[in-house]
Structure 1
Amino acid sequence: MQIEETGSASVLESVPPHLQTTRVDRVFWSHFSPNLAPAAWVIGVLVVVLGLPGWTGFWVLLAGNLLGSLPVAFCAVMGPKTGLPQMEASRFSFGRVGKRVPSLINWANCVGWDAVNNVPSALAFILLLKMIGLSVPFWLALGVLALIQLLASMGGHDIVQAIEKYLGWLLLVSFATVGLMAVFQSAGQQVTAAAVVPKFADIMVGIGAVGSFNMAWAAYASDYTRYVPASAPSSRIFWLTFSGTFLSSFIMELFGLLTGAAISDPSPGSVIAALQNWSGLFAPVALAAVAFSSIAINAANDNTAAYALISGGVRINRMLSAVVTAGMGYLLAVLGEGRFVSLYENYLLLALYWIAPWCGIVLADWYCRPASLRSARRETLAGWTPSATLFLVVTLLTIVLFSSTPLYTGPIAARLGGADIGYFVGFFSAAVGQIALLQARARRQTVMPVHGAENRFS
């Protein structure tokens, strides 16, 4: 394993071909292991709490995971071709200045995910230590986990991807064992509820929460494929990414769905206490899996955040950037510990408001370019582009018109009974808008050469 370059050039410049030596199989583990986390189990329980148990909940999980995993796989394909982290590759459509906005939003998103992932893991770590007679406060348990994650992320992509592969096997075996025990043990505790027709609003909230958990990885995707040789088949990159993202989250959420009716509420404390009870002699295994799963997910999260902060225009050392992110995530987790459920549900939906339009623009720019512009697909436009303006406009409009949260409900969401379809509208509106911008640019190019572009790929 090698320590990644620490200067900003490692983010702003393409990986040279002689360094693109990462084995293709690591693409799977890079997207599989991070989702083996209690946060995914909590989503399955949350679907039950929304009034969507049984087959309805199953189809919500399936639809949400499909919708969330596909953009991740399409973005991952860009990595070996561009040699750039995902947010830095946004410059091809947003421009050198325009890409700073989504990059900084993604950095803030990473800080939030740090907190979301660490709260349940810290609670499990405390219970694990109690079993050997040690009593530690939440802030200390959280600090130990955050420090391990930080040290791993500071090493860069190679160390992070090695952790994902080897820790992934341990997490898979542990969660599979604990999950099957939990399903069988909880079967006798399930509460039979009266049959009710699921509300459209609840179905959309459920799909949105499930989809957001996966789609958030689209902003990370090429971070962990850019060191793969450019000669690697794009189809293989796509399917390894898709299967890794989809399978891990679906399995964990399905365990949550099958045990949700026997858990008092979707808080991390209730879920972890239930797992500890159902696991019997394997309780230490269950607690260790929950505690150390945050290392797999937040090592990747902190590393990506370091990339995003540099792409956002903050020219600092990559390691220092990781330190800033981990520190902010630690503070947020300590402050939000007692309000996890409400913060988590709202956070999952809020993340979709920006990630969906961003995905629509980036994917349309990469895959839907007119033939006359395909040779310029990897040219970096200077300054702020119309695509960057499109991103801001669509994001703001979807929040104002479609959002449905305890703080604010948009007029269209209100007419739909509280259903939030903003992420669908945001993705397709941004994609269609980007295609229209590309068509207009292609028409202008037939009249005169395009100016203002840097005719080199760096």
Structure 2
Amino acid sequence: MRVEQGGAAAVLERVPSHLQTTTPEKIFWSHFSPNLAPAAWVIGTLVVFLGLSGWAGFWVLVIGNLLGSLPVALCAVMGPRTGLPQMEASRFALGTAGKRLPSLINWVNCVGWDAVNNVPSALAFMLLLKMAGLNTPFWLALGVLATAQLLASLGGHDLVQVIEKYLGWILLTAFAIVGCMAVSHAGVAPSSASVATLSFASVTIALGTVSSFNMGWAAYASDYTRYVPENTSSKTVFLLTFLGTFLSSFIMELFGLLTGAAIKDPSPGAVIDALNQWSGPFAPVALAAVAFSSIAINAANDNTASYALISAGVRVNRMLSVAVTAGTAYILAVMGEGSFVSLYENYLLLALYWIAPWCGIVMADWYCRPAHARSMRMLTKEGWTSSASLFVLVTVLTIALFSSTPIFVGPVAQLLDGADLGYLVGFVLGGLGQILILRQRHGVEILPEKEHFHA
């Protein structure tokens, strides 16, 4: 197992072929283990509180996870071919200057996710330590977990992959036991949820929340496939990534959906208290699974953040970037502990406003080039490209017109009674805009690259 080099070259230059030795099965675990987290359980619970229990909630989970997992798998395919982290690979469409803005946004995104993931894990760790007779303050419990995550991510790609594989098995077993016990108890528990009325707006918010939980990984996708041999079948990379992302989030969210009506509110504290109560003698297992799941997700998160910050133009050592990310997220988590629910829901939706158009542009640039132009898709474009301008334009327009948040509600969202379709519009406009740019550039009809999956 190698420790990834700390210089900027590890991000800015493609992985040499002699270092592309990661086995394909690790692709599954690197996308499966991070979603075995209480945050996904909270999403399932939140869907119930939005008024979508039963089959309505089930289909929201299916469709939302499909919408969120497909872009992740399609982006992951680029890794073995480009040998670059995902944000750095966007220089082929956005240019060396144009990729800096989304890279910086992604670093901020990583910091936010780091904090979001740590709050419920720290609360569970506090309860676990209390069982052992130790009354630990939140900041200290969080500090222990954040330190473990930092040490794991400092090693870089290979160490993160190993952690995801072996910790994934442990988390899967623990959450399977806890989940089954929780569902059996919640099925006979009195409903304490104050469920909202089903509406078009609640459906779109629920779909956006569910899909964004997975789609956020699209900005990370090739980070954990670029060390796979270049001749690995694209279909294999796609399927392993898709299954890892979809299955883990769907399983955890389904547990949340099935137990949501018996939980007093969609907050990590309420979920953890319920799991602690329902698990009986397995309560320490439940709390340990929730606490240590943050190591699986944030080891990958902090490592990706280090790549993103370097791609944003900040030429710092990768390990220093990891430390800055973990430290910033720690401060945010301590500050945001008491307002987790509102921050969580809003953060998930806001993240989609930039990820969706970015995905549309990058994927269209990779998959929709004409046959004679495919050999040029890995040529680095200097400066700021028209695709980078498209990214900014679509992102601003979708926020201004379609966003539906406590901070601002766009005019289109107002007409739709608060329904938020910005992420879908952003993805479509970004993709179609990039296709038009390619068509103008190459002067021929643009078609999807159907043979790409037959590597």
Return the letter of the residue paired with 2:119: V
Cα offsets for 1:250-307 (capped at 9, x unmatched): 0000000000000000111110000000000000000000000000000000000000
SS in 1 for 2:279: helix
Cα offsets for 1:401-452 (capped at 9, x unmatched): 00001111000000011000000000000000000000111029xxxxxxxx
Taking the aligned partners of 1:66 and 1:431, their CA distance within structure 2 comes to 18
Structure 1 residue aligned with 2:294 = 294
Asked if 2 retains the 8 angstrom alpha-carbon contact of 1:372 and 1:442, the reply is no
- 1:168-207 aligned within 5 A: 168-191=168-191, 198-207=198-207
Q: Offset at 1:370?
A: 1.9
Cα offsets for 1:200-225 (capped at 9, x unmatched): 00000000000000000000000000
Quote the sequence identity (%): 72
Q: Offset at 1:197?
A: 6.7
Taking the aligned partners of 1:218 and 1:199, their CA distance within structure 2 comes to 29
- 1:131-210 aligned within 5 A: 131-191=131-191, 198-210=198-210
Residues 137, 218 of structure 1: alpha-carbon distance in 2 compared, 3 angstrom cutoff: same
Asked if 2 retains the 8 angstrom alpha-carbon contact of 1:12 and 1:84, the reply is yes
Q: Offset at 1:191?
A: 2.3
RMSD over aligned Cα atoms: 1.3
Runs ≥4 in structure 1, deviation > 3 angstroms?
192-197
Q: Offset at 1:374?
A: 1.1
Taking the aligned partners of 1:7 and 1:97, their CA distance within structure 2 comes to 20
Cα offsets for 1:168-226 (capped at 9, x unmatched): 00000000000000000111114299999720000000000000000000000000000
Structure 1 residue aligned with 2:217 = 217
Q: Does 1:16 align with 2:16?
A: yes
Task: Mark the runs of 5 or more structure 2 residues left unpaired by the alignment.
Answer: 445-455
Q: How many residues align?
A: 444
Asked if 2 retains the 8 angstrom alpha-carbon contact of 1:365 and 1:435, the reply is yes
Cα offsets for 1:232-264 (capped at 9, x unmatched): 100000000000000000000000000000000
SS in 2 for 1:101: helix
Q: Does 1:79 align with 2:79?
A: yes
Residues 194, 326 of structure 1: alpha-carbon distance in 2 compared, 3 angstrom cutoff: closer
Taking the aligned partners of 1:191 and 1:342, their CA distance within structure 2 comes to 22
Q: Offset at 1:2?
A: 1.2
Cα offsets for 1:342-392 (capped at 9, x unmatched): 000000000000000000000000000122321101000010000000000
Residues 2, 339 of structure 1: alpha-carbon distance in 2 compared, 3 angstrom cutoff: same
Q: Does 1:245 align with 2:245?
A: yes
Residues 417, 166 of structure 1: alpha-carbon distance in 2 compared, 3 angstrom cutoff: same
Q: Does 1:130 align with 2:136?
A: no
Structure 1 residue aligned with 2:447 = none
Taking the aligned partners of 1:319 and 1:329, their CA distance within structure 2 comes to 16
Structure 2 residue aligned with 1:346 = 346
Structure 2 residue aligned with 1:261 = 261
Q: Which moved more, 1:187-196 or 1:385-394?
A: 187-196
Return the letter of the residue paired with 1:437: I
Return the letter of the residue paired with 1:139: W
Structure 2 residue aligned with 1:419 = 419
Q: TM-score, normalised by structure 1?
A: 0.96
Structure 1 residue aligned with 2:3 = 3
Q: TM-score, normalised by structure 2?
A: 0.96
Asked if 2 retains the 8 angstrom alpha-carbon contact of 1:87 and 1:219, the reply is yes
Return the letter of the residue paired with 1:186: A
